[in-house]
Amino acid sequence: MAKKYIELLEEELPPPKHKMYVMWRQYALNAIKKGRLLKRILSKFTSLNNIRILDVWCGKGGISIAFAEEVANVFREF
């Protein structure tokens, strides 16, 4: 996982001592894991090389990040 993403995520989260910090951080990191799983499942049915992904209302962008890691051009819309 790109360090830059973690740094950007930390800027958006409440301070580490906040009671919801751990839960919100884990939620964002789990979204990347979910995206990687989705990528593995889809790759069994079709090639993912050079595909384009439009991720609308993408939360912290975990699924977008998983696809952008190696196979896709990702466009995020908020």
Least-confidence region, from 23-32, 43-52, 54-63: 54-63
pLDDT digits (tens, 9 = 90+) for 38-54: 989 999 999 888 888 88
- Cα separations in angstroms, 40 against 4, 12, 35, 44, 48: 24, 29, 9, 7, 10
Query: What's the structural domain count of the chain?
Result: 1
Range of the domain at 16: 3-77
